Structure 1
Amino acid sequence: MQRANERFVERLPLVLKRPVYAYAISAAFCGIALILRLAAQSFLPIGYPFVSFFPAVILSTFLFGLRPGIFTGILCGFLSWYFFIPSGPGGSFGGGVILALIFYTAVIGIDIALIHWMQRANFNLAVERERSRALAENRELLFHELQHRVSNNLQVVAAMLSLQRRHIDDQVAARAMDDAASRLALIGRISRALYDPAEEGQDLHAFLTRLTADVLEASGRRDIQVTVSAPPGLTLDSHVAVPLALIVAEAVSNAIEHGLPHRGGTIEVSLEDSSGALSLRIADDGDGLAPDFRIEKGNSLGLRIASALASQLSAQFGLHPRPEGGAIVRLDLPAQAR
């Protein structure tokens, strides 16, 4: 309802198909004002000849603009003088009559000028608002198109790396090429999912569920179960969601590769929101960590990437032994980092 009123006000003054209609309706306002003033003649004190004509001038100016407003002001002034202002001998005007007409002219002149200026300002504001809306739509469209192209390019680069890997005989180099291709492909899928206009503001629980399923499928393992828990309806800005998703992907991949390399097991991904601060936990029931393990001295590229992404988010990242057996990755993101 409020928006409908705003749209109506933005259209003022009304531009009718024929300008004569605006003058005709304005004359009708004057006639209604005259009838009301005649009806009130019996109980209004002497000296109020314009009391019912001011609203007619204001309404006409408000609806139809400057010129119909001036027309209404002149016509109402003539009607009030003719019917309600007594003239002196020979039709002469006294000082009081002249003062009343000057007062009437000043009041309607100020009313018409103020309404005209406000409508001009309102029109300019509506034009700027429409221009800003169009620019915002174009910017959003270009942004999503850019993200779409970046995601496609990442997928293409990943495919090229996979093709190039076929010509490499060295196992270490081939493994590095495979890891690079899979990470690029994963980044492309994450970007496409998070920046897709159809999935804007998507639920993180559903997104992380699809993400972990993709990582598990890419590993080729069927004996590992991944569960995800997150607050319903939780969404994050892209500058936080993308690094967070990459950390989850790296941690799950690390758990599959190093924690459960030769047997099945479970991996639990949990995300908690406490007064704006996020706590991410990724626990597995695998072989656990070596007694002398230090994350800063580890040789896992995935963990180094996850640590770098956590630093980008100003978050605390750690990998610790799990009391029940296995390992647990912890990421604590403060509220101000979101």
Structure 2
Amino acid sequence: MPNPAEPALHRLKVWDIIHATRRLRSLGWIGDLVGVGAAAAALALRFAFDAALPAGFPYLTFFPAVVLTAFFFGLRPGIVCAVLSGLASWYFFMPPFYTFELTSQTAIALVFYVFIVAVDIALIHIMHLAAARLRADAEETARLYERQRTMFQELQHRVANNMQFVSAMLRLYAKRAGQDPAAMLTALDDARVRLDTMSRLHRHLYDPVNVTRPVGEFFQELCANLAEAAGAKDVRFSIDMPPVQFDLDQLTPLSLIAVEVITNALKHAFPDGRGSIALRLVQHGDHIVFTIADDGKGMAANPNPEQSKSLGLKIVHSLATQLGGSIVYEVGPGTTARVEFDRAA
């Protein structure tokens, strides 16, 4: 993928010298002393060349001093140098000499000097501001490009993972349909429902608003959506989770586990349509225990996800393995699914 920041960064080479003066321009009062020294050096040079210069050039060495000071050390040192240079040229090199007497010719010369140095200092200051903005824009462009590249790679990774999960799920459905051809339509409908649920979940997961939300708020909204989709108006949910956050690599399978377990409970645990489901997350250092407990009729026996023929249990077991953890079920009263895994560093 081409880097859109490269042209801007290439243009910055023109401004490298300006950027290199940034540290000098942040010296504070030391820069002011440099301004004083530059004015003194310009005065010494003016005296040194005074005999060789024709009359009428009082500012000849002072203009370069002001420009260089403003360029390398910033606005305030440039102004300090300009003021001292103007006073020195007025006192030593404008008639009547060695006095600050203001004649009409002196006034015109001083106005000319003030105008020139003010324009020079202003242009140099504007140039520094423009260079700083240009570099900041280029750095922001580079940062956004890097973020976009990372997000694109992450998207590719997640799409591949999702396709792998869908492929594995369809293989399980195909295996079940092969064992019982009469159940093929039911299997296809179950697959459609699960894929639709996954689609809605992923839209929810990748909503930028949800990226930084605490996990408890995320699951609260997820449970509400599942209850609404199932028409379970009389099932209450309780969420007990600390304000932690997970990256999407762990939040995605954890959410899919919750969807599978809660959907199964809404379908089978409450014959009269009434009940409650509690989600709880406990963190011990980096170790996470996530439980989903309902007060429904419970399963017939404690299921073993690894040995069970239930497709839902196999999917949940696969997701727990993807988390690098495990899932166990406890029956009576109700059913509790407990997922344990270590939080990603």
Task: Provide the TM-score with structure 1 as the length reference.
Answer: 0.54
Are 1:235 and 2:245 counterparts? yes
CA distance in 2, matches of 1:295, 1:288: 16
1:216 equivalenced with 2:222 (yes/no): no
> What residue ranges of structure 2 are gaps of 5+ in the alignment?
1-14, 20-31, 45-64, 79-84, 86-131, 164-180
Alignment partner of 1:186: what SS? helix
- Is 1:314 the counterpart of 2:319? The answer is no
**SS at 1:287's partner residue?**
coil
Task: Spell out, residue by residue over 1:278-318, the C-alpha distance to the aligned partner (whole angstroms, 9 max, x if none).
Answer: 21011111222324643333232121111101101111211
Report the equivalent of 2:40: 34
Answer yes or no: is the 8 Å Cα contact 2:301–2:331 preserved in 1. no
Q: How many residues are treated as equivalent by the alignment?
A: 227
CA contact (8 A) 1:12 1:63 kept: no
Counting aligned pairs with the same residue, the percent is 28
CA contact (8 A) 1:288 1:321 kept: yes
Q: How far apart in 1 are the matches of 2:69 and 2:276?
A: 74
Aligned partner of residue 286 in structure 1, secondary structure: coil
- Structure 1's unaligned 5+ residue stretches are 1-9, 15-25, 39-54, 69-74, 76-121, 154-169
Give the Cα–Cα distance (whole angstroms) in 2 for the partners of residues 333 and 201 of structure 1: 21
Q: 1:276 to 1:63 in 2, by over 3 A?
A: same
Report the alpha carbon displacement of residue 244 of structure 1 after superposing the two structures with TM: 0.5
- Name the CA shift for 1:331/1:174 in 2 (closer, same or farther; >3 Å): same
Which one-letter code corresponds to 2:339 in the other structure? L
Matched ranges for 1:1-338 at <5 A: 13=18, 29=35, 33-34=39-40, 59=69, 62-63=72-73, 129-130=139-140, 132-139=142-149, 172-232=183-243, 234-291=244-301, 293-322=303-332, 325-335=333-343, 337-338=344-345
* Separation in structure 2 between the aligned mates of residue 179 and residue 225 of structure 1, nearest angstrom: 25
CA distance in 2, matches of 1:239, 1:134: 22
Task: Report the CA distance shift for 1:306/1:252 in structure 2 as closer, same or farther (over 3 A).
Answer: same
The letter for the 2-side match of 1:34 is: A
Alpha-carbon distance between aligned partners in 2 of 1:250 and 1:240, rounded to the nearest angstrom: 16
Taking the aligned partners of 2:209 and 2:294, their CA distance within structure 1 comes to 33
Q: Distance in 1 between matches of 2:309 and 2:339?
A: 20
Distance 1:294 1:63, change over 3 A: same
Q: Matched residue of 1:268: which SS?
A: strand
Whole-angstrom distance in 2 between the partners of 1:172 and 1:145:
35
Distance in 2 (CA, whole Å) between partners of 1:148 and 1:297 is 29
After superposition, the C-alpha distances for 1:167-193 in whole angstroms (9 at most, x for unaligned) are xxx973333223212221222222222
Does structure 1 retain, via aligned residues, the 8 Å contact 2:302–2:331?
Answer: no
**TM-score (ref. length: structure 2):** 0.53
**Residue deviations 1:197-236 (CA, integer Å, cap 9, x gap):** 233212211211121122222222333222222113x211
Task: Kindly report the root-mean-square deviation, in angstroms, between the aligned alpha carbons of the 2 structures.
Answer: 4.5
Task: Tell me the CA shift for residue 237 of structure 1.
Answer: 0.5
Question: Which amino acid in structure 2 is aligned with residue 250 of structure 1?
Answer: E
